[in-house]
Structure 1
Amino acid sequence: MFNILVVDDEPLICKGLSSLLAASGLDIDHIYTAGSGYEALDCIRMEEIDLLVTDIQMGAMSGIELMQHAKMTKPWVQTIVISAHETFQYAQMAVRLGARDYLIKPLNSEQFLDSVRSVVLKMNRPSPELATYMDGNGDRFRLEEPLPEYSELLNSLLTETAAVLGAEEKLRKLDELKLQGPFFAVIKIKLPLPQDRPEQRYTTRDHSLLRYAALNIAKELLDQEWNSTAFYSPDQEITVIIQWDEQSYEEPSTGQLSRLEMLGRSLHFNIHRYLQLSAVIGISQILKGLSFMDVLNRQASKAILWNNEQPDHFVFYYGDFNWNNYAADPSPEELHTHSNLIVQKAKEYIDGNYAQKGLTIHEVAKKNHVSPNYLSYLFKKNTGYNLWEYVIKLRMEDSREMILNTDLRRYEIAERVGYESPEHFSKIFKKYFGLSPSELKK
């Protein structure tokens, strides 16, 4: 069964779409509603949402911004966008963020339900090739390797500096590979080898087949919104080169690094979902110029190595550790000290700003010069709380004190602890304490 979140700043639209979904006969468990992007983001953080149906223009946080934050929080959430505007730019941005449909108001009821049915039916359904393999028909699965000449050419570009390549050779490679940039990043995907899984009958052929399947999963994800190429590389890894031209790199977003991190999490999630493999993802920085390809390649490989120190984490960004402070690779003790410092600073920032409306993990991460993904992992590991759980804890404890010791009204307390909606505040409060604010007051 699926959980659906409907987001619109017009209550009648939320109510109408919810009623349509409830009467649709679809396999729906819960239908949630939110009147703003911030309220919706709280719901996504607190609940298991499978499908997000969102308006595109909603005041403080637009539907596009909500999609970006939702993708970072839970990459698997599917989205249908509704809008009163047939603006190509909005539709283009929505599609680039993975929207499954873009519907124009006033909505046609059947068209809306058809769109939701289409998305729901495709959820949890692997591609036909992967389904064939997972159904036990791997022996009949035809393995078609990518062109070895193409992979060899790409791998040579990642290991040779521009100084090694002559001007003529460099231009030829640029033309063949269609790598124009000028901005580039490298992502590496490392799959477990047969010797890493002795408890399973996992042969070399199985690994080749799974590697091929993982490459196809990567390509399917990348084709949605990235100018990229994915290919086999040495050490049984898969490498992805991402490129941006000047215009696309400067397009408004939460930042290209945040988008790369979201892609890394999506790669890990989908490979694990379809292949039951825990792939380790290494993400480089973004640099300008083809001459830095060897640097980016080394950065992505180095990022993967941190899985040796943190085996329960799987997506690593090279820039999350301040390598310049160390003459050599940091020791486990130095890494532990550095991690504790990141968590301490994040905790101090949240303690002072938890009542801020619209507080996000991205803001906390930015203050710590670390990616949201890595900060979330470290915070949970060190404190036992997810970042947002910790924010909720502070807000609820503060609001409880105000309810018991002041005459402030519910909407005033909600405002003081960072909620725009008194109703949403009451819902979170009851879920946290087991009774509503008015019941506690009595």
Structure 2
Amino acid sequence: MHRILIVDDEPLICRGLSSLLAGAGLGIADIHMAHTGFEALDYLRMEEVDLMITDIGMPGMNGIELMHQARLIKPWVQTIVISAHETFQYAQMAMRLGARDYLIKPLNSAQLLDSVRNALLQMQAEKPASGKPDYAASMGGRFALRAPDTQRGQAMTALMAGAPASPGEAQQLASAAGLEGAGPYFAMIRIGTDFSTREGELLPPKDKDLLAYALMNMASELLDQDWSPLPFTLPNWEIGLLIGWSEERYDDSTVSKINQLDMIGRSLHHHAAGFLRLPTLIGISQIARGPEFIHLLANQSQRALEWSNRHPGQKVFYYGDFSWSQPGEEAGEEEAFAQNNRIVERSRQYIEEHYAQKGLTLHEVSQRNHVSPNYLSYLFKKNTGYNLWEYVIKLRMEEGRRLLLTTDLRRYEVAERVGYESPEHFSKIFKKYYGYSPSELKKEHPAK
């Protein structure tokens, strides 16, 4: 059964779409409705959502901004975009963010249902079968099993081995590796696996080769639309991906490159588990300009993976989160512990000062601490016991309850003071958190 989130600032459209989908026999378990991008983010943080249907033109946070934030929270959630504008730029941006479809208002009911049905069918096909999976067969449906290009792999191995003698030699190797037209900015992602942990089996090398190729093709095709990555094999059945930014794309200051890498890493980990039921660790380098620095990116992605020894609960590692200290040094344990505590404490203080701010995001908090959103989420949960956004909700709900009990403020005024634009949305979150609504609380404890 599928769970759908409908986002539109016109309540009538939300109700109409909800009614249409509920009666279409599509196997939908839950339909959530949000009237702003901020409300939608709350649902994405707190509920299981498979498919989001969002309008583009909304006040406060438009559909494109929502898609950016949604990909940080749950990069695997599928999206269908609806818009009153046949603007090519909007459609192009939506598709680059992974939208399944871009539909123009006024909506045609049959067209919408076809789009939703196709998205749900695709998701159903991507779910692994129950029981012991046949990896080769499961990959055959969507991902073709292609062996890596040997010549390109040798050129990439040479670039990773060390700095070329000259920029000209680096350019020759880059051309042989298939990097023409890519870059000039690059980051490297390394995917490590432990095949022996899969259902306790010890796999022979031939099966490991097959799974490594399957993983490489899955990762490559998953990112192909947005990134055109260069995939290659590494020792011990690890997989490498080289991600590139053009000058124009890299200069786009509206998009955080760390957030993009964070999203890619978590999406790869999620899909490796979903398609292949394969445990993976993801190591991500920083970004460097020019193929002559690929050997440094290779070293960074490897060192990022080494931090899994210290953080067994974490699966995606960005080198920039740890570059202030060296992995594997005995003396660094205490320093790392103190640094992580400082990150969490600064984040906690920032949230306590800004939890009532409308539109507060994980990206904003992580930027203040110069770490990736993924690592901040992991540290905050590990040190406090709270998911970062659960902590924001906790502060908002406790303050909301205090204001309801000790003041004569109306519900919409309380909602406004704790960071919600919509009193209805505040009431939904409040009831989910406490088990009773603000009005029920007021009846139980009338003002004296």
TM over 0.5, yes or no? yes
Aligned to 1:368: 369
Q: Which residue of 1 aligns with 2:446?
A: none
| Equivalent of residue 158 in structure 1, options 157, 160, 169 | 160
Q: What is residue 70 of structure 1 aligned with on the other side?
A: 70
Aligned to 1:311: 312
Q: Deviations over 1:37-89 (max 9, x none)?
A: 11111111111111000011111111111111111101110000001111111
Counterpart for residue 33 of structure 2: 33
Name the Cα RMSD after superposition. 2.4
Superposition TM-score, scaled by structure 2 size: 0.92
The aligned counterpart of 2:224 is 223
What is residue 334 of structure 2 aligned with on the other side? 333
Alignment-derived partner of residue 4 in structure 1: 4
Work out whether residues 151 and 233 of structure 1, in 8 Å CA contact, stay in contact via their aligned partners in 2.
Answer: no
CA distance in structure 2 between the partners assigned to 1:422 and 1:185 by the alignment: 44
Q: Do 2:78 and 2:100's aligned partners in 1 also have CA atoms closer than 8 Å?
A: yes
- Change in Cα spacing, 1:213 to 1:73, as seen in structure 2 (3 Å) is same
- Offset from partner CA, 1:172-202 (integer Å, 9 cap, x none): 32333234421111111111144x5693242
The one-letter amino acid paired with 1:63 is G
Alpha-carbon shift at residue 126 of structure 1 (Å): 3.3
- State the Cα deviation string for residues 402-423 of structure 1 (Å, max 9, x = none): 1111100000000000001000
Task: Identify if the C-alpha distance between structure 1 residues 42 and 254 changes in structure 2 by more than 3 Å, giving closer, same or farther.
Answer: farther
- In the other structure, the counterpart of 2:265 is 264
SS in 2 for 1:306: helix
Contact 1:307 1:314 in 2 (8 A): yes
Q: 1:287: how far off?
A: 1.5
CA contact (8 A) 2:307 2:327 kept: no
Deviations 1:200-254 (A, max 9, x none): 2422222111111101110111112103211112232111111111112223543
Q: Distance in 2 between matches of 1:197 and 1:274?
A: 13
| Counterpart in the other structure of 2:148 | 146
Query: What amino acid does structure 2 have at the position aligned with 1:361?
Result: L
Unaligned runs of 5+ in 2: 444-448
Which structure 1 segments of 5+ residues have no match?
Answer: none
1:108: Cα distance to partner?
Answer: 0.3
Alignment of 1:92-111 (within 5 A): 92-111=92-111
Partner of 1:170: 170
Distance in 2 between residues matched to 1:220 and 1:278, nearest whole Å: 19
- Return the alpha-carbon distance in structure 1 between the equivalents of residues 326 and 280 of structure 2: 29
Q: % of aligned pairs identical?
A: 54
CA distance in 2, matches of 1:24, 1:330: 62
C-alpha spacing 1:136/1:260, structure 2 compared with 1 (3 Å): closer
How many angstroms apart in 2 are the aligned matches of 1:235 and 1:116?
41
CA distance in 2, matches of 1:127, 1:431: 29
Change (3 A) 1:340 1:11: same
Q: Distance in 2 between matches of 1:328 and 1:125?
A: 46
Q: Give the total of aligned pairs.
A: 437
Structure 1 residues 359, 279: closer, same or farther in 2, change over 3 A? same
- Counterpart in the other structure of 1:181: 183
1:115 matched residue in structure 2: 115
Q: Which amino acid aligns with 2:226?
A: E
- SS of structure 2 residue aligned to 1:114: helix
CA spacing shift, 1:12–1:81, aligned 2, 3 Å: same
**Structure 1 range deviating more: 232-241 or 172-181:** 172-181
Please give the residue correspondences for 1:230-379 in structure 2 after superposition, counting only pairs within 5 Å. Answer: 230-251=231-252, 253-323=254-324, 331-379=332-380
